[in-house]
Structure 1
Amino acid sequence: MTTSEGPVDGGSWMRSLEQRVRVLEDHNAIMRLMYSYGPSVDSGLAAVVAGLWTEDGVYDVDTGRMDGRHEIANMVRTHPHQGFIQHGCGHVMSPAHITVDGDTAVAVCHTQLILRLPDGSGYQVSRVTANRWELIRTVDGWRVTSRTSRILDGQEESRAILASAFDPADDGVR
């Protein structure tokens, strides 16, 4: 077998292809996990939301920190979140920049919380945040070990979260 770089050993080519397919499968699984957050939190499925994290996972938002699945599930059940759901809301996520490193991964993205206006005439963006998701491969698939979310209000910490996705030498695979 040959490539643009010359002859290639069939075994090394197959290993390279297997690695590339695994990375694609990992990216897909991580995206499915992350993108299930919005629909599950907006529909009030507290156990589904909490199940995205490891048992001792952390969700660190600028409005408070939740340690473990129990606290994450309680966030969905309590006010003001239930008020958001009852009046109409959407947690919308941008495509994520994902870097897989063996059995761990980091994903960086934006999210928006969109709320229905009190008079029902439309919607407005309530907040836009920078998010860093740290994930681990478990026997049950990928799970979140830590998610840090900071509102994009000009603070350095928010910009640093977004910038953490970009390492000039990073090709998305380690």
Structure 2
Amino acid sequence: MTSTPTIEDRLRAVEDKLAIYSLLASHPISADTGEPGFVRAIYTEDFVFDRGAGLAGAQGVSGMVELVGNDGHRAAISGGLAHFGNLPLVELAGDTATATSYIALISPDPEGNERELPNHGTSSGYRIHRVIANRWLLARQDGQWMITSRTVLPMDGSGPALDEVLRPARSYYENRQR
């Protein structure tokens, strides 16, 4: 038999989820600016970034700083790279948490036809380069939520994103109290 959470427990869960939402909302800004201080503020020293087969990941916060500071990433930033995320599904477990989300990688489309949007100017549009499923692991350290690892896999219909990132999120529904 499970006990009813106290108001303090419920308030802490709300505060934790808001802190995690803010933390994960900062990731696109850190990736799209490549600012080392920003990156260091959100990842743990032993952070692990797994981007699946074919793309380099990162080990440790210093590895992540190097990744977003390398020439290729800087070229993507200069080309208008935008990481566009959604509100994550967050599962709390004391001082750790798991979050599941999507991020679309968007960039200007210089080959697109120019179009005008009333009151918003003219643009050749944007293209979605790819959409990825994210599995974030987080931990509270010194009172702050930090990202300890992140796995990203493309939403390309091949299966790994569903099996390794999205389907494990079903535990949220299996474990939540009604």
What is the TM-score when the length of structure 1 is the normalising length?
0.85
Q: Secondary structure at the match of 1:155?
A: coil
Q: Secondary structure at the match of 1:169?
A: helix
Read off the aligned partner of 1:68 and give its amino acid letter.
G
Residue equivalent to 1:7: none
1:138 maps to 2:128: no
1:21 maps to 2:26: no
Uncovered stretches (5+) of structure 2, i.e. residues with no partner: 112-122
RMSD: 1.8
Change (3 A) 1:156 1:125: same
Read off the aligned partner of 1:157 and give its amino acid letter.
P
Q: Secondary structure at the match of 1:144?
A: strand
Q: Select the residue among 26, 43, 56 that pairs with 1:53.
A: 43
Distance 2:141 2:175 in 1: 24
CA contact (8 A) 1:51 1:69 kept: no
Q: How does 1:78-97 map to 2 (within 5 A)?
A: 78-97=70-89
Identity of paired residues, percent? 33
Per-residue CA distance 1:8-65 (angstroms, 9 max, x = gap): xxxx98x710000000000000111111011122122133123311101111112122
Residue equivalent to 1:109: 101
Residue equivalent to 1:148: 151
Q: Secondary structure at the match of 1:164?
A: helix
CA contact (8 A) 2:34 2:65 kept: no
What is the TM-score when the length of structure 2 is the normalising length?
0.84
**Structure 1: 4+ residue segments shifted above 6 A:** none
Residue equivalent to 2:166: 162
Distance 2:68 2:41 in 1: 12
CA contact (8 A) 2:105 2:130 kept: yes
Give the length in aligned residue pairs.
160
